[in-house]
Amino acid sequence: MLENILSQGFSRAFIELYGEEPVGNQVIFQKTRSEFEGDRTIVVFPFVKVAKKSPEMIATEIGEKMLQSVDIVEKFNVVKGFLNLLISDSYWLNFFNKNYQKQHFGFIEPTSGKPVVVEYSSPNTNKPLHLGHVRNNLLGFSVSEILKANGHPVVRVNLVNDRGIHICKSMLAWQKWGNERTPENEDIKGDKLVGEMYVRFDKELKQQLSEMTDLGLSEMEVLKKAPLMIEAQEMLLKWEAGDPEIRNLWKIMNGWVYAGFDETYKRMGVDFDKIYYESETYLLGKDLVQEGVESGVLIIKDDGSVWCDLTADGLDEKLLLRADGTSVYMTQDLGTAEFRAKEYDPSKLIYVVGNEQNYHFDVLKLVLRKLNRDWADSIEHLSYGMVELPQGKMKSREGTVVDADELMDEMIATAKSMTEELGKSENLAKADADKLYYQIGLGALKYFILKVDPKKTMMFNPQESVDFNGNTGPFIQYTHARIVSLLRKSVQLGTILSEDLTTILLPKEKALILQLYIFPEILIEAGKNRSPALIANYLYDLAKEFNQFYQEIPILKEEDPIKRNFRLLLCSFTQQVLKSTSALLGMEMPEKM
């Protein structure tokens, strides 16, 4: 890579001039700022003490040496203590010649090492997927694709929360007020029907609570004595006891939900290699807890409950088994983590979960360490911020969530409206136009969510995300379609793409090549940081750079066949990188817009 060549050349020049080797971590080259001439810059202030000269003199002397000894350095200039180096066109053309035909430029060949297990989605079966799930799913899917592009074997898993009091609330509401409704006889997605029952339960519960306010009890006491809550708790106990009637209803209603989830996942463009169910995993941690009790790591209190004392580690005491012997979420997660560690022997166990669970994962790792699980440090919580709306936070119980299916409908409808208004779907058959609206709508949604650093809370604005100008998915998609159209016209005109690529680079040609050149390091950085935002913003920068090139440089109208041919190949290279890189975000690139 360029930085290695320059670093070695700088070190040789420094030793020759000043008799000492420079400190390696100080020989860092950066992209030259746009207001100065050059491609790479190094700051020489850290070397003043050794060289015993002014920064300007050091930069000038090293620049002269590198001009003589490093073939690819064509020119240099000094701005105070900054040495700016201009790299020869031959270096950039050599890079171009080696890479422009690669379909997945920058991707690393898959390895056969230990897999990375990525858990994402993890929905409850008492409601449809909503906007919060959308960010989770898109983030988990994209991080998995980025890791695969970095050569890692990846296993994508989903843990469905299919048991517990929240499920019983929906089941009880269906028994009382469902009137034998089914997805088939109502022509409704199953997850939505079950979600309506959950909202109905909360509505009826609130009515009961309002009628009990004059009993002189605390809010928590009133909730415990509410008839509906008592019935829901009784149903949960029956479920845990294996009651045939309750278990049958549970299977039927969860089946409705799974069918709805599958439809949403398919439309969203995400999938999994394996799906776990909490009903099958919630008991897994009990053996671990018993092991901890026997080894003295965990403590049993007078009521029979089991705890882990983490106060010496700066946390608090954590409940692992209730007094009645039932497990909590932490118990389950301990067991599931151990199960996956044995099943996959992963290099990493990545959990894509919102930042409200930061403490939970701190505890999970710490308890596993105390239980002498040497793989505990492979657990990584990919913590992300919530998605906010202008009107405030979403509330599932009150039915004020932004439903994922309705959101996708809105995105596609908005894409259709804006596309037709701009005349970008004219002369397309209906099936092709519908496919285009889907690609634009979902591309806009995915890009708008993934361009934000995962750690940050974000505000979602559907209308802004479908804008064809600015930092949006449709802008990148339109750039891709523009290139495809250009290449299509070149074939129609009889232009033959040859490999005679010797030319002198114009500034905009070089700038576009430089933008392509940095993709491999962006991909590596995105993998290390688990950040699709780095990929998204790289795509935007590449699309911007291409459009400037397209506006300023003649392509099909260029009369010199060698120059025209080179520019067409540069367009083709850009198109390939846009397509393969956008796939890391789950975005589809239309060929006509």
Across the beta sheet with 379-384, the strand order is: 274-277, 154-160, 116-119, 348-354, 379-384
Is residue 164 pLDDT above 70, yes or no? yes
Report, at the CATH architecture level, how domain 2-87 is classified. 2-Layer Sandwich (3.30)
pLDDT in tens, 433-462: 999 999 999 999 999 999 999 999 998 877
Instruction: Supply the pLDDT for residue 396.
Output: 43
CATH 3.20.20.300 fits 404-585, yes or no: no
Instruction: Supply the pLDDT for residue 397.
Output: 45
pLDDT band, residue 500 (cuts 50/70/90)? low
φ/ψ of residue 345, rounded to 5: 45, 55
The DSSP letter of residue 423 is T
Mean pLDDT score of the chain: 92
Tokens of 503: 């030319």
Tokens of 497: 């793409």
pTM score, whole prediction:
0.92
Instruction: Supply the pLDDT for residue 504.
Output: 83
Is residue 499 pLDDT above 70, yes or no? no
Instruction: Supply the pLDDT for residue 196.
Output: 95
Is residue 423 pLDDT above 90, yes or no? no
Instruction: Supply the pLDDT for residue 502.
Output: 62
Which residues sit opposite 77 in a β-bridge? 84
The percentage of the chain sitting over the pLDDT mark of 90, rounded to a whole number, equals 81
CB-based contacts of 74, cutoff 8 Å, min separation 6: 86, 87, 88, 89
Query: CA 348, CA 346: separation in Å to the nearest integer?
Result: 5
pLDDT in tens, 165-220: 999 999 999 999 999 999 999 999 999 999 999 999 999 999 888 888 766 677 77
Which residues sit opposite 157 in a β-bridge? 119, 274
The percentage of the chain sitting over the pLDDT mark of 70, rounded to a whole number, equals 95
pLDDT in tens, 534-575: 999 999 999 999 999 999 999 999 998 889 989 999 999 999
Per the rule left: phi > 0, alpha: psi between -120 and 50, beta: everything else, 372 is left
Instruction: Supply the pLDDT for residue 394.
Output: 44
Query: Average pLDDT of 317-324?
Result: 91
Q: What angle do CA 530, 532, 536 make, to 5 degrees?
A: 155
> What distance lies between CA 545 and its chain's CA centroid?
24
Is residue 389 pLDDT above 50, yes or no? yes
pLDDT in tens, 48-90: 999 999 999 999 999 999 999 999 999 999 999 999 999 999 9
Tokens of 306: 């089991």
pLDDT band, residue 402 (cuts 50/70/90)? confident
Tokens of 83: 């040495």
Instruction: Supply the pLDDT for residue 557.
Output: 93
CA nearest 538: which of 451, 449, 433, 443? 451
Query: Average pLDDT of 512-521?
Result: 97
Instruction: Supply the pLDDT for residue 390.
Output: 66
pLDDT band, residue 223 (cuts 50/70/90)? confident
Q: Where in the chain do CATH 1.10.730.10 domains reside?
A: 404-585
The DSSP letter of residue 327 is B
Instruction: Supply the pLDDT for residue 497.
Output: 56
Tokens of 438: 């889907």
Q: Where in the chain do CATH 3.40.50.620 domains reside?
A: 117-388
Q: Where in the chain do CATH 3.30.1360.70 domains reside?
A: 2-87
Residue 52: count other Cβ atoms within 10 Å of its Cβ: 10
φ/ψ of residue 71, rounded to 5: -55, -35
Instruction: Supply the pLDDT for residue 33.
Output: 92
Instruction: Supply the pLDDT for residue 327.
Output: 82
Per the rule left: phi > 0, alpha: psi between -120 and 50, beta: everything else, 53 is beta
Is residue 162 pLDDT above 50, yes or no? yes
Instruction: Supply the pLDDT for residue 266.
Output: 97
117-388 in CATH: which number? Answer: 3.40.50.620
Burial of 67 (0-12, 13-18, 19+ CB in 10 A): middle
